[in-house]
Amino acid sequence: MELCIAGVSIRNNEWVQQFVREKVATVQVDVDKLDIISDGLIHYKMLRFCQITHLDVLGRNSLTPLISDRER
């Protein structure tokens, strides 16, 4: 059973880490698609308002140790 709160899934640590990795990979693919935009301002706005918001939600709502690559 998956529990999603504000777009962030809640489960055990390993599952949450995999969920975050998949979301980040999806955003990376979408960001690569924006390379065809030659206007810098439009490119920035597309990143800022369409893609970065996905990562912001994950960052605000996930526990830091679960989304960080740093070892403790």
Mean pLDDT by 10 residues, the chain (72 residues): 63 76 87 89 87 77 59 46
Predicted confidence at residue 34, as pLDDT, reads 87
User: Using CA atoms, how far apart are residues 66 and 21, in angstroms rounded to an integer?
Assistant: 10
Q: Where are the beta strands (DSSP E) in 1-72?
A: 3-5, 8-10
Angle, CA 47 vertex, CA 45 and CA 51 arms, to 5°: 130
Domain chopping of the chain, boundaries: 13-67
Predicted confidence at residue 56, as pLDDT, reads 79
Predicted confidence at residue 41, as pLDDT, reads 93
Please name the amino acid found at residue 57: V
Predicted confidence at residue 72, as pLDDT, reads 43
Predicted confidence at residue 3, as pLDDT, reads 66
